[in-house]
Amino acid sequence: MARDPAFVLRYLAEVEELAEDVLAARQQIVDLDVKRNRNREALRALRKDPEPEGKAMVCFGSTFIELPKAKTEEMLRKDQEHLDEEINNLRKELRVKVNRLFEAQGKPELKGFNLNPMSPEEMKLINRILEG
């Protein structure tokens, strides 16, 4: 059975577009994770500093500003929370994009891909049950 060339081209273009979306989302997650790790390193360096009441040089774009360490640590912590939230949202979106790509390719949905981690409260309950 011969396929219409226009149909095949549309199908291939759709699959390629979906694959590019998946790759772009993965790259965005990697980039945000690198930034999150840099923030973590900065927070650790601030905590190790023997002068907790001093000031720290902070880089905003191409400008360095001297800020109190407490304010700098608070800003980094808020940025860290924002990055965690953004990465989690991107991971959720990535699951949907991967499923759409698999559907377009005629592959079955990934098993176990839609699992969510247990919360600390759920873990405590499980440990209580297991301990008897």
SS3 67: strand
Token pair recorded at residue 76 = 């980094």
Structural domain contains residue 75: no
| Digit-coded pLDDT (tens) for 64-89 | 999 999 899 999 999 999 999 999 99
Token pair recorded at residue 63 = 């400008």
Structural domain contains residue 74: no
What's the confidence (pLDDT) of residue 2? 56
| Digit-coded pLDDT (tens) for 6-31 | 888 898 899 999 999 999 999 999 99
Structural domain contains residue 107: yes
Domain count, the chain: 1
| Digit-coded pLDDT (tens) for 33-68 | 999 999 999 999 888 888 878 888 888 889 999 999
Distances (CA, A) of 32 to 20, 21, 86: 18, 17, 8
Structural domain contains residue 112: yes
Tell me the residue range of the domain where 25 lies.
5-52+83-131
pTM over 0.75: no
C-alpha R_g of the chain: 23
